[in-house]
């Protein structure tokens, strides 16, 4: 009888957790449900990010990922490796997130898509956005970036998360979302432009500055210059 992943520890467990997807899939199909841990730990971050990009809610995203894993587990028996397993699993997570979004109007409203030709006004965007001053004051760049990503239109947001944050290439993103590669490129390009606009507005609203020169350093330099000028006048 084969050992379960749960029975390993230390280096052996680490080795199992790094096993190829195909190995984990075959073990699960062979009756070792614990081997599914390999898949979950490998794709937790990816699935959570794509679900979070759709729902913009931590708890709802976690629920979507959990349901995706359960659904995928029972579909593994009929899984045919005609494409990327990662993309297959990601599409299941996307569908679960979309189902949650459709069932609960608050996520539909929260994540409503916004076409490039139909942008909200600056005032509307500012009103719906997390207060940048309070986010910046927190001192955590990650929170600032999350708040900015959440302001992207839904379609652009998911592509941006997979391309820029999850570091998937165009083909992988296309397969994961079931859209054309050209669409991925267009949405990613526009998402990057919007991110730049949003972050610029955050910085302006929060009064963020770089290379600031003020206070005692400013006073000291002013005095040094004045003293040097005074000495030059005396010597002249």
Note the pLDDT tens digit of each residue in 16-39: 777 888 988 999 998 888 889 889
Q: Let me know whether 91 and 118 are in one domain.
A: no
Last residue of a domain, one of 110, 133, 158: 110
Q: What is the CATH number of the domain that holds 33?
A: 1.10.1740.10
pLDDT in tens, 140-158: 677 888 889 999 999 999 9
* pLDDT for res 116: 35
* pLDDT for res 179: 96
Within a domain: 234: no
Within a domain: 236: no
Q: Which residues contact 142 (CB under 8 A, 6 or more apart)?
A: none
* pLDDT for res 132: 55
The answer to whether the beta carbons of residues 112 and 154 sit under 8 Å apart is: yes
Q: Let me know whether 104 and 122 are in one domain.
A: no
Q: Which domain holds residue 106?
A: 1-110
Q: Let me know whether 78 and 165 are in one domain.
A: no
Q: Let me know whether 105 and 117 are in one domain.
A: no
Question: From the first residue on, what is the mean pLDDT of each consecutive set of 10 residues in the chain (236 residues)?
Answer: 52 72 90 89 95 94 96 90 89 96 70 39 43 54 86 95 95 96 97 91 71 80 84 75
* pLDDT for res 9: 52
Within a domain: 235: no
Within a domain: 8: yes
Number of structural domains (the chain) is 2
Q: Let me know whether 151 and 79 are in one domain.
A: no
Taking the whole predicted model, whether its pTM rises above 0.75 is answered as no
Q: Let me know whether 106 and 117 are in one domain.
A: no
Last residue of a domain, one of 66, 84, 110: 110
* pLDDT for res 1: 41
* pLDDT for res 126: 42
Instruction: Say which residue the tokens 């990650």 belong to.
Output: 142
Within a domain: 200: yes
Q: What is the CATH number of the domain that holds 129?
A: 1.10.10.10
Q: Let me know whether 120 and 169 are in one domain.
A: yes
Q: Let me know whether 187 and 218 are in one domain.
A: yes
Within a domain: 119: yes
Q: Let me know whether 169 and 96 are in one domain.
A: no
Last residue of a domain, one of 110, 142, 175: 110
């Amino acid at each position: 009888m084969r050992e379960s992943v749960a029975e390993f520890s230390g280096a052996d467990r680490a080795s199992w957790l790094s096993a190829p997807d195909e190995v984990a899939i075959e073990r699960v199909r062979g009756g070792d449900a614990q081997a599914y841990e390999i898949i979950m730990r490998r794709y937790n971050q990816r699935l959570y990010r794509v679900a979070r990009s759709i729902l913009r809610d931590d708890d709802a995203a976690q629920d979507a990922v959990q349901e995706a894993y359960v659904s995928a587990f029972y579909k593994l028996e009929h899984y045919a490796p005609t494409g990327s397993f990662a993309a297959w699993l990601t599409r299941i997570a996307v569908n679960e997130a979309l189902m949650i979004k459709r069932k609960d109007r608050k996520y539909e409203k929260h994540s409503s898509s916004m076409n490039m030709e139909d942008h909200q006004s600056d005032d509307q965007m500012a009103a719906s956005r997390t207060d940048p001053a309070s986010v910046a004051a927190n001192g955590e760049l990650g929170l600032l970036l999350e708040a900015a990503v959440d302001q992207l239109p839904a379609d652009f947001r998911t592509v941006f998360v997979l391309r820029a944050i999850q570091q998937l290439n165009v083909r992988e993103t296309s397969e994961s979302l079931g859209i054309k590669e050209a669409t991925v490129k267009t949405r990613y390009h526009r998402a990057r432009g919007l991110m730049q606009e949003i972050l610029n507005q955050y910085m302006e609203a929060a009064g963020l500055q770089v290379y600031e020169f003020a206070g005692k350093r400013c006073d000291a330099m002013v005095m040094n210059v004045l003293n040097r000028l005074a000495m030059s006048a005396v010597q002249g």
